[in-house]
Chain A
Amino acid sequence: DAGVTQSPTHLIKTRGQHVTLRCSPISGHKSVSWYQQVLGQGPQFIFQYYEKEERGRGNFPDRFSARQFPNYSSELNVNALLLGDSALYLCASSSYPDLSSYNEQFFGPGTRLTVL
């Protein structure tokens, strides 16, 4: 079975632009979480979705939004890009509804976003 997949692998944008990142969870997993990992730091939690509903949100501005589709894939959208948004964006999937009930989550390879 395929693991968590993310697209695109790499992306270069300029300040002020908009970006959409995509994630497909492991088959059978209904929960998707998004993280931002700046070089040299730990992942920062952005969102968690379970069965199309937002279940958790980190401390990110409203420029960041996400949604989950009926097939449980997910999109992360970032508007009005800033230089500081340059990072590796990771998606993780799990079969559990809440983070506190997670036994394990599986990360995808990430999308490397560079904002110039």
Chain B
Amino acid sequence: GQQVMQIPQYQHVQEGEDFTTYCNSSTTLSNIQWYKQRPGGHPVFLIQLVKSGEVKKQKRLTFQFGEAKKNSSLHITATQTTDVGTYFCAGIRYNFNKFYFGSGTKLNVKP
């Protein structure tokens, strides 16, 4: 079954509004990565989270890893049209050498 769930599936925002996507796993993850995929493109690595409760920031992007290492979020402050794309989380379970990608959140930003 689906190992990693991601919500929402779609998000339409006005430029300048904030955006958040959530990722939930049915099992504890050893680490989680986030990717961005532009329309017609390939996934591009954004960040990796490893520690329980970890928070990392990249300019307007804030990434969090839950205390139980079962959930994660990506928050974008003051979206810009360049943020358009689909954001995926990808988790790795302990003792399983496999990536489990979420279904992605497609972000559309209206200027």
- Residues of A that sit less than 8 Å from B by CB: 33, 35, 41-45, 48, 55-58, 90, 98-100, 102-110
Contacts and interface: CB of A to CB of B under 8 A. Distances in A.
A42 B43 CA distance: 10
Interface of B: 6, 30-31, 33, 41-45, 48, 88, 90, 92, 94, 97-104
28 contacts: A35-B99, A41-B103, A41-B104, A42-B88, A42-B90, A42-B102, A43-B43, A43-B88, A43-B90, A43-B99, A44-B101, A45-B100, A45-B101, A48-B97, A48-B98, A55-B97, A56-B97, A56-B98, A57-B98, A90-B43, A99-B97, A102-B92, A103-B48, A104-B45, A107-B43, A107-B44, A107-B45, A108-B42
Given A42-B88, A100-B30, A107 B42 contact: yes
A62 B92 CA distance: 23
B42 A102 contact: no
A45 B99 contact: yes
B104 A42 contact: yes
Contacts of A35: 99, 101
A106 to B, nearest CB: 7
Contacts of B43: 43, 90, 107
Contacts of B88: 42-43
A63 to B, nearest CB: 19
Nearest to A90: B42
